[in-house]
Chain A
Amino acid sequence: MKIFSNGSSFAAGDYPKFLASRLNAEITNIAMVGYSNRSIWRTTIEERPINYDLAIIQLTSRSRHEYHDEKKWVEISIALNHNRLTEQRKKIWKYWYENMYDEVYGDCEENFAIEGISDYFANENIPCIIVTTDKFTKSKKFDLNIFDLNFPMDETQHPTEKGHKIIADKIYEIAISRM
């Protein structure tokens, strides 16, 4: 069995590995810390995963974004702490968050990612589970909001090892019900 995983910092942690272990599966995990919904959608489509038995995609905070600085993709969040952000670009993005970003825009980007990812995997006949770490999303299209689970977190506000196991167990339940 082969599993494809993508997402931001939660998925870059250990729950995909624990899930693969429970399903006795090989895992390809391309999740990266800081990814936005757009980054997760883009890298999934660019990767063109085929011949997998299951895809687990973790979407993230709607307010995150990304841009390309002609060398690399740069992830943007309200914290504006990416090391490739120049002072000038940091100010430009700060203005965006303070004066122009609206939840309606974030909802739209989130919906694009959900629809774009779920249709891709449906056409490849790969069951796909889409979860989120956006506590306040209004979308009803997710299979799971990770923050609906009760799990321990560390000082960086990410799941501890036990937390990752709790998340993996819940996704395992959903996966079994789909397969």
Chain B
Amino acid sequence: MRLLFLGCSWTAGNELKNRKKSRFSTIIGKRLNAEVINLAENGLSNHAIARIFLEQDLESFDKIFVQLTHPSRTEWYDPTGEFNKVRIREKIKERFSDRKKWYDSQLVNLAKNIGGEWDRILVDKKRFLITGKVFEGKEWWIWYYEQIYTDQYGMSEEMLIYNLIKNKLKRLKKDHLILTINPKCKMSIDLQLNNPKYPRAVGNHPNEIGHSMIAPDIMKLL
């Protein structure tokens, strides 16, 4: 049996000491004696989750679990990949001045390998708004959240992505569950992970006990 998990940091197991061992996808895989493919990543938006979802050979999985995230997140495609260098420079400047030499060497490596890349944008984390695309003295993505983005847009994006995933899996007749961490999600989701009953680590992600509680709650829905 093959299981596919998609989502953001919550499904990736951020803040766990050994994420590959302790995250809920691994616990579920062990209980079902199944191979687990977990493609969740820190900071992914619903747009990115849907894009990665459509890139998979969905027929090759027996059960598919998709965790949706905060609707204000988004992504853009940078054909130069330059945003990586800009972010690292920012880190050096703000947080790691004592390790400047090491980060300078990383910059050199990046410059060698740079190429087009999807970039994740998170309004609540300043470093994820910095891309080097500056319009009238301010990062473009700050303009975006101040002047363009509205909750209506985020809700419509969530509705579209939810329907995209749900209709695809229904058409393929695949067993699936759709989870979310958006407490205001209006879609008919199977499980709300952003629930105070699941204990958290300092950065607000579920801790080891949280993951061990989420796994049986998901199993009950299968």
**Which A residues contact B (CB, under 8 angstroms)?**
38, 41-42, 45-46, 67-70, 88-89, 91-93, 95-96, 99-100, 102, 104-105, 108, 111-112, 115-116, 119-120, 122-123
Contacts and interface: CB of A to CB of B under 8 A. Distances in A.
Contacts of B148: 67, 89, 92-93
A67 B159 contact: no
Interface string B134-166: 011000100110011110110010011001100
B147 A108 contact: no
A116 B164 contact: yes
Contacts of B133: 95, 99-100
Contacts of A100: 76, 78, 133, 140
Given A116-B160, A120-B167, A92 B143 contact: yes
Interface of B: 50-51, 54, 76-79, 116, 133, 135-136, 140, 143-144, 147-150, 152-153, 156, 159-160, 163-164, 167-168, 170-171
A108 B160 contact: no
Contact of B153 (A45, A46, A68, A95): A68
A112 B156 CA distance: 14
26 contacts: A41-B160, A42-B160, A45-B160, A68-B150, A70-B152, A88-B147, A89-B147, A92-B143, A92-B144, A95-B133, A95-B135, A99-B140, A100-B78, A100-B133, A100-B140, A102-B79, A102-B116, A105-B76, A112-B50, A112-B160, A112-B164, A115-B54, A115-B164, A119-B167, A119-B168, A123-B171
A interface, over-half SS: helix
B163 A120 contact: yes
B interface secondary structure, majority: helix
Most B C-beta atoms less than 10 A away, residue of A68, A91, A93, A95: A68
A108 B51 contact: yes
Given A45-B159, A99-B140, A119-B171, A104 B150 contact: no
Contacts of B159: 42, 45-46
